[in-house]
Amino acid sequence: MSGQRFVIHGDFISTPDPGEVRIHENAYITVEGGKVSGIEKERPDTGPDVTFIDYKGKLIIPGFSDVHLHAVQYVTRGLGYDKELLPWLNDYTFPEESRFQDPAYGERVFNDVVHDLWASGTLHCAIFSSLHTDASILLMEKFAKAGLSAYVGKVNMDRNSVEELQETTEESIRETERFLEAARPYEERGILPILTPRFAPSCSDELMRWLGDKAMETGLPVQSHVNENQGEIAWVRELFPQSNNYLAVYEDFDLLPQSRTIMAHCIHNSEDEMQMFLDKDVLVAHCPDSNANLASGIMAAGEMIDRGIRVGLGSDIGGGNRLFIGHAIESAMRLSRLLWAESDHAYRTITFAEAFHMATAGGGSFFGKTGAFLPGYSFDALVVDDSRFTRYRPLSVFERLQKFVFAGDDRQIEARYRGGEFLPLPDFD
Amino acid sequence: MSGQRFVIHGDFISTPDPGEVRIHENAYITVEGGKVSGIEKERPDTGPDVTFIDYKGKLIIPGFSDVHLHAVQYVTRGLGYDKELLPWLNDYTFPEESRFQDPAYGERVFNDVVHDLWASGTLHCAIFSSLHTDASILLMEKFAKAGLSAYVGKVNMDRNSVEELQETTEESIRETERFLEAARPYEERGILPILTPRFAPSCSDELMRWLGDKAMETGLPVQSHVNENQGEIAWVRELFPQSNNYLAVYEDFDLLPQSRTIMAHCIHNSEDEMQMFLDKDVLVAHCPDSNANLASGIMAAGEMIDRGIRVGLGSDIGGGNRLFIGHAIESAMRLSRLLWAESDHAYRTITFAEAFHMATAGGGSFFGKTGAFLPGYSFDALVVDDSRFTRYRPLSVFERLQKFVFAGDDRQIEARYRGGEFLPLPDFD
């Protein structure tokens, strides 16, 4: 259908900029070549070659972007939230990730991860696999079958892991080359490799250097973690005494390529680091569910927005426990309100529209023109049947969106479109 | 079935005391007269008159108790979480509650509230209706049809409301008498009236005095709100200058009957108030979802538990947005972890078992012997089909419970039993 023209009818809402709400109620969007070409109040004249799709009275919203999650922690999400980050990694996460050496295990889990992303309306994601190359390619294959777009990272880690989950520097380099080669056939379907040093403590200087050179040489994007937890920050300071701060460790190894870097968490930042997010146009992956579950703290999201830093939302499965990005929107608002309350109002709260923007156009900015209904943008949309919430009395379109996010879940998502294509239930057989 | 004897087989888990986890994996519980009479590792000898119900491999947990919510805010849950408590009440909550003067509106909404409580596995609740007597009785009728137990309160408010939602002191008293009279037929089905001064600012001294006398004279329980928000606390201080603190306002009007009082929120407490919760054996309704949504702050749940104060969980619909009490368990843990992180570790975090206890035996203590699998306790249970989470590899029973709470929802609840009776899908026609 993407080469064709079609007209879609419904109640559209999106947030092209932080806090900017655009509503087109009972309107018609024309899609040509997979992109929005027009938005009209009246049904446009269409010839016999134009398909008309009527979602009258349904809410139509941009597809979600989840800019930080770990496919290989799907099984352990929800477990061990009595612990802090570093013990949680050692007791639950690393042992689980080591299981992905077995392709049969990966097959079982990834089928569900990708199905559930589809079900939850997450049409784009930036995802960590494990260090296993074959599992990482298998994950790409699943995304291809589901018609979703993704940046997939084979994780690099050549130190400070557990016995079952180790690679030498040489293996890490060789397997990354093999991964990049094997990833090529997926590129045309919007499934792309991303360099993924797990986090600075997991990578030797030599491996960081090699990855940075690779990023510079190829233009590949990078994803990693920064400033999640005080213990982690102190550890990085010990491991990399020559760098000015945690974020500068990545920069010192050329691992913050301009406008092509995602950094997860970004809670405990120095002034220099805040400036570097802006200068390097880093996409900050705000992961409020995970940050609360692992007692990491609260990122000052309002301050990020006010400084013009790009912010998206991450479910951070398995530090976070729910794939549906509505939960992350809910949590982003809640955490900002608790920070306001607990800091004696030193930090501002974020609005619903700002949080929704993070989940759509904000995170979406990493995947091209997506996340809003603007001419020239990819038609990536969810059709939401929210009649469950409006049967008592009429609600405004903006209220309906709030209800879907705060009281709904994937059960209300009736249809998904990416690049103008309807996405059927994934068939992995 | 409640008069009969039956044996039920499955994987049982409950938390009779805060933090105490009891697991009976692959075990058999005998139920007689609606109560647990035995728990065994081997299938007991049973005659032909004993029904055997096999839930092999399923998780069986106590039914949830939701000890604070507003039936008449179901439609507005999720709306206006950009606001603080007092503006939110005036802009969203009070206008919505005024609609319940129309019985047809109440009918539509209450069918869904009670259905959704049933679906979510909330077998007991303490719930606010509006000030309308007929709506409050209608709500009781719905609980009776669904087989759930509840304390239902017709709200009293004779001042500081909006134009559409007013009663004079005389009306409030007269309608409360009418409500108590009309509630009688429901008592034998476990649906009981509870005196419900909305919160101190909503009631004149005269009305508070009359309600306190009524509580003393009849032995009726009381539910209300306390110490939710700093603005509210300052207001109460102005309105009731003769009382030592907010909680003492209720005590001064005899509205804290011993062991028969539920107070919602309890965030910003003085030392005297903490002691009074204990002395009066108040059930604290901890409402973490609502407290985050409305920027109220974080209740120090660990400190409450350490002092021996009774704590249950409230969804606080519509300040809270989700009925499934698993979300409140999740939020209670998260808020305690954020308080720990943001207070420089001045407050302790709570464990999963403590949060689960609040949602079951803690809140359940207001409804008789329920919320744990102990001999003599009412068999109030949920059968959870969690095969969705265990199909990758085996998990322990305790891990399975965590998965259900953090990654599941009402979709996994396969059956509900209250007082030994199977609860079918409610039929309101």
Q: pLDDT by residue for chain B (429 residues), tens digit each?
A: 445 899 999 999 999 999 899 999 999 999 999 999 999 999 998 788 899 999 999 999 999 999 999 999 999 999 999 877 788 888 899 999 999 999 999 999 999 999 999 999 999 999 999 999 999 999 999 999 999 999 999 999 999 988 889 899 999 999 999 999 999 999 999 999 999 999 999 999 999 999 999 999 999 999 999 999 999 999 999 999 999 999 999 999 999 999 999 999 999 999 999 999 999 999 999 999 999 999 999 999 999 999 999 999 999 999 999 999 999 999 999 999 999 999 999 999 999 999 999 999 999 999 999 999 999 999 999 999 999 999 999 999 999 999 999 999 999 999 999 999 999 999 998
Q: Which residues in B lie closer than 8 A to residue A108 (C-beta atoms)?
A: 391-392
- Residue A75 in contact with partner chain B when CB distance is under 8 A: yes
- Residue A21: its chain B contacts at CB < 8 A? none
Q: Kindly report the nearest CA distance between residue A52 and chain B, in angstroms.
A: 33
A87 in contact with chain B, both atoms CB, cutoff 8 A? no
Min Cα–Cα distance to chain B from A215, Å = 35
Using CA atoms, how far residue B268 sits from A331, A342, B204, B232, B233, in Å, is 22, 12, 23, 11, 9
Residue among B82, B105, B352 whose CB faces A351 most closely: B82
Determine whether the interchain pair A296/B409 forms a contact, defined as Cβ–Cβ distance below 8 Å: no
For the ranges A312-321, A397-406, B37-46, B52-61, the lowest mean pLDDT is seen at: B37-46
Q: Is B322 on the interface with A (CB under 8 A)?
A: yes
How big is chain A, counted in residues?
A: 429
Using one digit for the tens of pLDDT, what is the confidence trace for A225-282? 999 999 999 999 999 999 999 999 999 999 999 999 999 999 999 999 999 999 999 9
Who among A77, A81, A407 is closest to B352 (CB)? A81
Closest residue to B296, CB basis, from A294, A298, A341? A341
Chain B CB contacts of A351 below 8 Å: 82
Alpha-carbon distance A83 to nearest alpha carbon in chain B (angstroms): 9
Percentage above 90 pLDDT, chain A: 93
**Residue of B81, B107, B399 to mutate, testing the A interface (most A Cβ within 10 Å of its Cβ):** B81
Does B352 contact A293 at a Cβ distance shorter than 8 Å? no
Instruction: Please tell me the distance in Å from A109's CA to the nearest CA on chain B.
Output: 7
- Comparing CB atoms, the residue among B105, B338, B395 nearest residue A338 is B338
Model confidence, pTM: 0.97
Which CATH architecture describes the domain B5-62+372-422?
A: Roll (2.30)
Q: Please tell me the distance in Å from A103's CA to the nearest CA on chain B.
A: 12
Picking from B63, B64, B60, the residue whose alpha carbon sits closest to that of residue B13 is B60
Boundaries of every domain in chain A: 5-62+372-422, 64-367
Do B64-367 and B5-62+372-422 fall under one CATH topology? no
pLDDT, tens digit, for every residue of A328-346?
999 999 999 999 999 999 9
Write down the pLDDT at residue A1: 47
Q: Do A342 and B337 touch (CB under 8 A)?
A: no
B345 touches chain A (CB under 8 A): no
B406 touches chain A (CB under 8 A): yes
Average pLDDT over residues A67-93: 91
- On whether any CB of chain B is under 8 Å from the CB of A345, the answer is no
What is the interface pTM, i.e. ipTM, of the complex?
0.96
Residue in A75, A322, A402 closest to B78 by CB? A402
B409 touches chain A (CB under 8 A): yes
Q: Is B309 on the interface with A (CB under 8 A)?
A: no
Put simply, the answer to whether B337 touches A292 (Cβ < 8 Å) is yes
**Phi, psi (rounded to 5 degrees) for A381:** -145, 155
CATH code reported for the domain at A64-367: 3.20.20.140
Q: Which residue among B333, B335, B342 places its CB closest to the CB of A81?
A: B333
B 262-301: CB under 8 A from A: 292-298
